[in-house]
Chains A and B, each alone.
Chain A
Amino acid sequence: MTQGYTFLEDRVISDLAFEATGDTPAELFQAAGLALFEGMADTGRLQPRVRKEIRLRHAQIDQLLHDWLSELIYLKDAAGLLFGEFSVQLNQNTEWNLVATVKGEPIDPKRHALRADAKGVTYHQFEVVQTETGGWKARVVVDI
């Protein structure tokens, strides 16, 4: 199972749904981050001009993914940034620890082919699972 994402067309009437995958949890988180921003803009047009570091932790990996995507949405509004590059490190001790570097640039409607604004990550059909082959898969529905 390689890192990637698929938009789940027609899964939800008024919003955005995607499935993200990765060989490792870190890859899964990277893929989900990219899917989130691909829903908002053409990430292929983003330059890695600004870099932000994110640190999060949670006992449950699904809530950590929820927090991760929510933090990215927060940065989109608070810092006015769109991200196209995600480098995630995840370790599990007593709880999951995430350290990530994300790169992108200030939102520019003229260059970024903007799509729909993400309001928040829902818990609707939200799940993170480890597959039989050892890979990781998540389903996410974003309110737009």
Chain B
Amino acid sequence: MQVNKITDYLWEIPPTEKEGMRVPARIYASEKLLKEMDDGVFEQITNVACLPGIQKYALCMPDGHWGYGFPIGGVAAFSLQDGVISPGGIGFDINCGMRLIRTDLTKADVQPRLKDLLNVLFNKVPAGVGAKGFVKIERKEMAEVMTRGVNWCIKKGYGWAQDRDRIEGDGCLPGGDPSHVSQHAVERGVGQLGTLGSGNHYLEIQVASNENIYDEKLARALGIFGQDQVVVMVHCGSRGFGHQIATDYLRVFDSAMKKYGITVRDRQLACVPFRSPEGQAYYSAMACAANMAFANRQVITHRIREAFSQVFNEDAERLGLETIYDVAHNVAKIETYEMDGKPTELLVHRKGSTRSFGPGRTEIPTLYRDWGQPVIVGGSMETGSYLCIGTQKAETETFGSTMHGSGRTMSRHAAKRMVRGTDLQRRMEEHGILVKAVSMSGLAEEAGAAYKNISEVVDTMDAVGVSKKIVQLKPIGNIKG
């Protein structure tokens, strides 16, 4: 496949490379990252470029790797009038995302009690196959979670009012209608609020050191003062609830495509017109799942506050456990972009990609509007993570999108062949990172070597000017499913 170099960090596959491509496919990557990308990325991003109503480019971020339908790291914007919506552009884990919570504590405060803290967190935030949360709600109340997201949590006492101001879209994606959600989805999700799940999901205690701060002014504006400050990062999504909605609608779309005369190169790219009854029903159900995911991360935040309060014998408020931000990196959203000189509403699919709006966008909470949207980038549990900020350039170049993590390079089997979970746990402890995991084989699958170098990924988008680095965060404790 012909891949043309546009700049040192941008590569383009022209529409002549595959029959049916409506727009070019563009990949953001350093030369090294591009070479490391699996063949699936090139195949899948050019498949995305064939979808009806796609605008300008099919995009892949530097953490891109093979996914289902879209590659992970895939971004595509569609016309609301004649474009499509595809569950393959959002993922099974709808509104999988990241939350970052600050504290006033330092590594010196936490290190002596880290083991206790992890034990308490491990009990308070259930993880792994089939884990159930502490929140007991009736199915009827689940409808409120689906439509109100974090607002429901705050009403129930699982959050502070100011949390809402520090979440993408105020923690509630409008348009959720429970009548479009199956009973199966409700039954899968009703007991899972406040749970992490498994795979690459985690809860991590991290440290922000002075030498890892790239922009002191912005770091302070976001609540990061450095000096080995402790922060907490959470990576999870809508659990079985969202997975079931994806399953249900993939099935619906798989058969509905014929009716709309749509053919796709990959069954997993099943899609229907956004304005069709099926498209509107899925968007509505997806919003319900997005709201469940916001609520899930909020309930987990509540439990994190309880855990810190218990271990440090102090109110969470006094410990400064404020939400810094919460981002969705598997979602489709209606956003306005300038197209041919006119403001135009588009449906932007981000699958393993974070919104990266620059200063001034009204979608950004007032608190951060002068600076841009905070971008939380989760790395592997061995290598660390980043907090970045969006830019106006993102809006003109990438439909306001940037990377979401480091991106896998190695299969789960290969990772397990390389290292045993218990050995990895010991090695990480030697490097000052304590790990508690439900599954030792699951732990081995998430070894740092199974992922790309996160700094290279983040540096790529920093160099392009789509998102700017603020601080790198280094792990000292990790909880995994």
Q: Which residues of A contact B (CB under 8 A)?
A: 7, 9-16, 40-41, 63, 66-67, 70, 73-74, 76-78, 80-82, 107, 109, 112-117, 119-124, 126, 141, 143-144
Instruction: Kindly state whether residue B26 has any CB partner on chain A within 8 Å.
Output: no
Segment from B103-111, B191-199, B373-381 that makes contact with A: B191-199
B92 at the interface (CB under 8 A from A): yes
User: Are the C-beta atoms of B411 and A114 separated by less than 8 Å?
Assistant: no
Partner of B439, one of A10, A80, A114, A126: A114
Count class of interface residues, chain B: 35 or more
Across the interface, name the chain A residue whose C-beta is closest to B255: A63
A116, B412: Cβ atoms closer than 8 Å = yes
CB B331 to nearest CB in A, in angstroms, measures 16
Contact A13 B38 (CB under 8 A): yes
CB pair A116–B129 under 8 Å, yes or no, is yes
Q: Which residues of the partner chain B approach A13 to less than 8 Å between Cβ atoms? A: 38, 40, 65-66, 408-412
Do A123 and B268 touch across chains, with their CB atoms under 8 A apart? yes
B187 at the A/B interface (Cβ < 8 Å)? yes
Distance between Cα atoms of A112 and B438 in the complex (Å) = 11
B266 contact set on A, CB distance < 8 A: 124
Contact of A16 among B197, B247, B412 (CB under 8 A): B412
Least CB distance, B198 to chain A, in whole angstroms: 4
Q: A40-B129, A144-B198 in contact; A119/B438 too (CB < 8 A)?
A: no
Is there an interface contact between A119 and B92, defined as CB atoms closer than 8 Å?
Answer: yes
Residues of A within 8 A of B155 (CB): none
Q: How far is the CA of A112 from the CA of B409 in the complex (A)?
A: 29
Which B residue's beta carbon lies closest to that of A71? B184
Contact of A78 among B188, B267, B439, B441 (CB under 8 A): B188
Q: Find out whether the CB atom of A116 lies under 8 angstroms from the CB atom of B199.
A: yes
The distance from the CB of A33 to the nearest CB of chain B, in whole angstroms, is 16
Is A82 a contact of B130 with CB atoms below 8 Å? Answer: yes
Asked whether B187 lies within 8 Å of A117 as measured between CB atoms, the reply is no
| Contact A74–B187 (Cβ < 8 Å) | yes
Find the B residue at minimum CB distance from A69: B247
**27 examples of A-B residue contacts, CB within 8 angstroms:** A7-B413, A9-B413, A10-B413, A11-B411, A13-B38, A13-B65, A13-B411, A15-B412, A73-B240, A73-B243, A74-B184, A74-B240, A76-B129, A77-B192, A78-B240, A107-B129, A109-B438, A112-B129, A113-B439, A114-B198, A117-B129, A119-B92, A119-B93, A120-B247, A122-B68, A123-B68, A124-B266
Determine whether the beta carbon of A120 is less than 8 Å from that of B92: yes
Do A80 and B66 touch across chains, with their CB atoms under 8 A apart? no
Contact A41 B129 (CB under 8 A): yes
Complex Cα spacing A67 to B248, Å:
10
Q: Which residue of B lies closest to A123 (CB)?
A: B267
B187 touches A109 (CB 8 A): no
- Checking B72, B191, B268 against A122 with a beta-carbon cut-off of 8 angstroms, the contacting residue is B268
- Indicate whether A116 sits within 8 Å of B445 (C-beta atoms), given known contacts A13-B408, A14-B408, A80-B132: yes
Interfacial chain B residues near A7, Cβ < 8 Å: 413
Contact B72 A120 (CB under 8 A): no
Residue of A whose beta carbon sits closest to that of B266: A124
Q: Which residue of A lies closest to B201 (CB)?
A: A117
* Interchain CA distance A80-B412 in the complex, whole Å: 25
Cβ contacts under 8 Å, B135 to chain A: none
Chain B nearest Cβ from A106, distance in angstroms: 9
Which residue of A11, A117, A121 contacts B197 across the interface (Cβ within 8 Å)? A117
Contact partners of A144 in chain B: CB under 8 A: 198-199, 412
Contact between B441 and A115 (Cβ–Cβ < 8 Å)?
A: yes
**A-B pairs with the 6 shortest C-beta distances?**
A77-B240, A78-B187, A9-B413, A123-B267, A77-B188, A119-B243
Contact B188 A115 (CB under 8 A): no
Query: In the bound complex, what is the Cα–Cα distance between A109 and B409 (angstroms)?
Result: 29
In the docked arrangement, what's the CA distance between A70 and B244, Å? Answer: 8
